[in-house]
Amino acid sequence: MSARTKARKRALDMLFQADVRDEPVAIIVASEAQRASSEPDRAASWLYAREIVDGVTDHLDEIDELIVSYSQGWTIDRMPHIDRALLRIASWELLFNDEVPAAVAIDEAIELAKEYSTEDSSRFVNGVLGKIADHAK
């Protein structure tokens, strides 16, 4: 598994935790930063995970607005926590990280949806992200 794939999983964990616990993302990030500093094997994925979470946090309103506009009748609050976090991560990569090809951002989100969410989530995530990718062009 690549360092970026691990980073996406870590970012997913942090965003999911903050969402489910209804805690500020900064508290979760601080806890993860402390943990990463004591586990050198996690250092490679930590930096990109932090970049993702910071990017999502900095652009949350814009990202959520696009997700809602392309999710056809779904509000952000109605989406499963995992799907919401995955859509936010991949949307940030599509919109604000030129180093990640759109196909990679979408494929990684779909795979994580298959692994961690509902049976229908991967199709939902794919559809919404495909529209956001078209918007980002």
Q: What is the pLDDT of residue 136?
A: 84
| Average pLDDT per block of 10 residues along the chain, 137 residues long | 89 96 94 81 84 97 96 91 97 96 96 94 96 91
Q: What is the pLDDT of residue 89?
A: 98
| Tally of CA atoms within 13 A in the half-sphere of 31 that contains its CB | 13
Could you tell me the domains of the chain? 3-136 (1.10.940.10)
Region class of 95: left (phi > 0), else alpha (psi between -120 and 50), else beta: alpha
Q: What is the pLDDT of residue 72?
A: 87
Q: What is the pLDDT of residue 79?
A: 94
Q: Where are the alpha helices (DSSP H) in 38-77?
A: 43-58, 60-70
Q: What is the pLDDT of residue 2?
A: 84
